[in-house]
Amino acid sequence: MAAYAGIIFDLDGVICSTDQYHYLAWKALADRLGIPFDRERNNLLRGVSRMDSLNIILEKSDQTYTDAEKAAFAAEKNDLYRESLKQMSPADLSPSVLNTLNAFRAMGLRLAIGSSSKNTPFILERIGLGDFFDAVADGNCITHSKPHPEVFLKAADMLGLSPDQCCVVEDAHAGVEAAVAGGFACAAMGDARDDERATYHLNQFSDLQQYIQA
């Protein structure tokens, strides 16, 4: 018997990885504006909304910008990012992730995505999971990004489940914080694997199965 009725997955870094595309798009914008930006700085943007990410980048600028200018910068970055995402295909979905997802589906679990990204539907379509999940809560339907728990609470609500019936899978510390704040169990992997707030610590995505079947 499964330990949970539903699983809510972050998208980027959990189901697939678009980190490189994000970094290159932000880097191109920062370079154009003459703002220092590197991979270390990029790590501060993990699990953070587009506008919050932009504000983190602009902290290193000696100029101030209007809201209209910031909106234009965010749109510019997203155009660069979406153009690069066209390179994605089902080959970007690892067999291990797909097999594990199919195993959970066979167990009768309800599966959802909980991502701050507004590009979530496009990415899911590109990797062949456009219609796979029972619910998708993303940046298009929330007003607060992680570490606020809104996206996970909305995903659980869309599944018809309470937080204590779900496990969230995250790779960012902001996501772990959001899950815990929402009252969810959390399985952490990647950069957040050793986060002490997480319920489970995964070396790889497929490790999740042993905890869900517990």
Ramachandran angles phi, psi of 120, nearest 5°? -50, -50
Contacts of 57 (CB under 8 A, 6+ apart): 26, 29, 30, 35, 37, 41, 45
Length of the chain: 214
Question: Strands 6-9 and 200-201, how do they pair?
Answer: unpaired
CA 191 → CA 29, 87, 195, 204, distances in Å?
25, 25, 9, 11
How much of the chain is helix, strand and coil, in % rounded to 5? 50, 10, 40
| Residue 113, helix vs strand vs coil | strand
Amino acid at 132: F
Instruction: Write out the catalytic residue numbers.
Output: 10, 12
Angle between helical axes of 19-33 and 50-58 (0-180°, round to 10): 40
Strands (E), 80-134: 110-114
